[in-house]
Amino acid sequence: MSVSTSETFTRQPPLSSSSASGHSNRPYDTLYFAYGSSLSHTQMALRCKCTPERSAVPTAIARLHGWKWIICERGCANVVYTGKVGEKPGYSGDEVWGVLYVMSAEDEKILDGFEGLDWAAPKAVNDLIWVSQGARPTEQGNGRHNKVYLDVKIAEWKDKQWAQQLGEQRVRVLVYIDERDVEEGTIRPEYVGRMNRGIRESVALGLSEQWVAQAMRRWVMPGIEARQGQVDKHG
């Protein structure tokens, strides 16, 4: 996949997520950008058992520019870098809307498990730039996702304390990305209900319903929602 040399990825959580939070003294708390079934704060509360009162509370609605939302070959949500950003009036370019959560180190580790990280894979280099011709070293290995940190633009803060303390409209956040399965596929039947739950809950928070109609409804049929307590196809 060819990627612009202007796109920079880092493997370290942004300092502002810990130093400016005021929520915790832990040094590795992270702002996490959810774009799939974790748009649902209900699902986040079911997964984040250590500090759900913080890790499962929506902090902001945000937009990731230059990326496209798809259902990939594995049948679940993924984001693919296109580099297409809005340069003309009336054209917003490719973008992905999502929900930000403040993840504690403990809950981030839990989420790593749900997202299928390969802990045995070699770690990628920090602040590494993708080159237009050549593959970026990956830590995905045999796992389902990589962990990368990208800049997102805040559409609306939902937590006044974070809005005051960060005081920024653009922040660097954790994004789980599948860099292997980047072609469009067919959504898994069990995933439809969880995505609809995430769509309903995130739209109620302020996520763009127009963007949902344009980007998500091609794959996610309305009218089916996950049963209470469902967090994946097994639980």
If one counts every other C-beta atom within 10 angstroms of the C-beta of residue 145, the result is: 21
Output the CA–CA distances (angstroms, integers) from residue 121 to 82, 138, 139, 143, 193, in the order listed: 26, 8, 5, 8, 32
pTM: 0.81
Contact present, 182 and 188 (Cβ < 8 Å): no
The predicted-structure confidence for 89-134, as pLDDT tens digits, reads as follows: 444 568 999 999 998 889 988 998 899 888 777 666 554 444 444 4
Catalytic residues: 115
Which residues define the annotated binding site for substrate? 32-37
Which residues define the annotated binding site? 32-37
Give the β-pairing of 58-65 and 30-34.
unpaired
Domains of the chain: 8-216 (3.10.490.10)
pLDDT of residue 7 exceeding 70, the answer is no
Contact present, 29 and 13 (Cβ < 8 Å): yes
The whole-chain average pLDDT of the chain stands at 79
Q: Which residue has the tokens 């915790």?
A: 24
How far does CA 223 lie from the centroid of its chain?
A: 24
Token pair for 90: 């009336």
The predicted-structure confidence for 222-234, as pLDDT tens digits, reads as follows: 987 766 655 565 4
Radius of gyration of the chain (CA): 17
The predicted-structure confidence for 149-164, as pLDDT tens digits, reads as follows: 888 999 999 988 888 8
Output the CA–CA distances (angstroms, integers) from residue 59 to 84, 138, 144, 205, in the order listed: 27, 29, 26, 10
By CB neighbour count within 10 A (0-12 exposed, 13-18 middle, 19+ buried), where does 134 fall? exposed
